[in-house]
Amino acid sequence: MEFTAKEIAEILGGTVEGDPQAKVTTFARIESGKSGAICFFANPKYENYVYECKADIIIVNNSFVPQKPVSATMIRVEDAYAAVASLLDYVTAKKRSYKRYRGLRSRVRMSARLGKKVYVGDFAYIGKKARVGDYTKIYENVYVGDGVTIGSHCIIYPGVRIYPGMQIGNNVIIHSNAVIGADGFGFAPLEDGTWKKIEHTGNVIIEDDVEIGANTTIDKSQMGSTIIHRGVKIDNLCMIAHNVEISENTVMAGQSGIAGSTKIGRHCILGGQVGIAGHLTVADNTSFGAQAGLQGSVKKEGQAFMGSPAIPYMDYMRSYAQFKKAGKK
């Protein structure tokens, strides 16, 4: 990659403050910016690095007012964090090449249908009547079961397992060793103390623009569908049980888990190792701090929770202050 400040400003819809011909060839964090690199500044606690940074270009918010001289050329945008994400997308898209490829050691069943310029790596398997959309990449050692549908411009990384009958939308990214569509954890207790397996006859529906982390599992439903709606982002090592529904643009950090038949609202945030019990409803714009454990439904929108069992954030902080005092002599 090689861009001038002027070119980057045009891509991002920003304005240049400094040398419009300043050139960069790589990205760097603002703490370690060097000659030839572009950085971004969005968090006020990193402001001191703006003045020390050796990078040639720094993306900053329009509202930023320097308190000292800045040696780098600045590109001013409305939201620096969103702008650098867009720039990374742009650079990645330019590098990406699309060509039809089918590994000699792959197996694609005769009744499967592949779109334009689909990549299928060695040892990948695509089952009967599966459908794969245009420009999708199915990397090595991926299993795509019978009747699966995968949309266009998806990336399925090595080792992913997609059980028969699952539905994947467009622009979906599934990272290595994720499992989509395993049976949910459903067993009926019998009088003799044993457990009778409850068959799961449903599927998983993953809508457009979803990203699923490595080693995450999403179980298919007993009946109906487990649904991951548009724009959801799920980190590594997460567990989503049968019949869960996660609404648009919710994010889950690593090692979080949602038990069966729970419905999560739009624009929610789950910190690392959050656990949510089954058969609950969580309102839109709810956030959970790391290791929160929710045992009851959340009906009011826009609340933040911490602790296990989870309670509203300010209640938690007041309780924790008392807890710390109790431990002192």
Asked whether residue 90 is domain-assigned, the answer is yes
The answer on 105 and 91 residing in a single domain is: no
Distance, CA of 118 to CA of 152 (rounded, Å) = 9
The answer on 226 and 117 residing in a single domain is: yes
The answer on 247 and 135 residing in a single domain is: yes
Q: Which domain range does residue 87 map to?
A: 3-95
> What is the radius of gyration, based on Cα positions, of the chain?
24
Domain boundary among 43, 69, 95: 95
The answer on 209 and 131 residing in a single domain is: yes
Express each pLDDT in 34-85 by its tens digit.
999 999 999 999 999 999 999 999 999 999 999 999 999 999 999 999 999 9
Identified catalytic residue from 153, 200, 242, 267: 242
Distance, CA of 277 to CA of 284 (rounded, Å) = 17
Using N-to-C axis directions, what is the helix angle for 80-95 and 5-12, rounded to 10°? 110
Domain boundary among 41, 74, 95: 95
**Predicted pLDDT of residue 322:** 84
| pLDDT more than 90, % of the chain | 89
Q: Which residues pair with 131 in a beta bridge?
A: 113, 149
Express each pLDDT in 140-161 by its tens digit.
999 999 999 999 999 999 999 9
Distance, CA of 13 to CA of 3 (rounded, Å) = 15
The answer on 108 and 81 residing in a single domain is: no
Name the DSSP letter for residue 298: B
The answer on 182 and 55 residing in a single domain is: no
The answer on 111 and 8 residing in a single domain is: no
- The pLDDT of 169-177, averaged and rounded, is 98
**DSSP output for 206-227:** E-TT-EE-TT-EEEPPSSSEEE
The answer on 312 and 213 residing in a single domain is: yes
**Predicted pLDDT of residue 89:** 87
Domain boundary among 44, 64, 95: 95
The answer on 112 and 83 residing in a single domain is: no
Q: Tell me, yes or no, if 242 is annotated catalytic.
A: yes
**Predicted pLDDT of residue 327:** 65
Q: What is the largest CA-CA distance in the chain?
A: 79
**Predicted pLDDT of residue 99:** 76
CATH number reported for the structural domain that contains residue 247 in this entry? 2.160.10.10
The first and second tokens of residue 245, run together, are 């529904």
pLDDT band at 329 (very low <50, low <70, confident <90, very high): low
Distance, CA of 292 to CA of 310 (rounded, Å) = 5
Report strand pairing: 257-258 vs 275-276: parallel
Does residue 184 surpass a pLDDT of 80?
A: yes
| pLDDT more than 70, % of the chain | 98
| Helix ranges (DSSP H) in the chain | 5-12, 47-52, 80-95, 313-326
Number of independent structural domains in the chain: 2
CA 296 to chain centre: 26
Asked whether residue 113 is domain-assigned, the answer is yes
CB 297 within 8 A of CB 281: yes
Termini Cα distance of the chain: 61
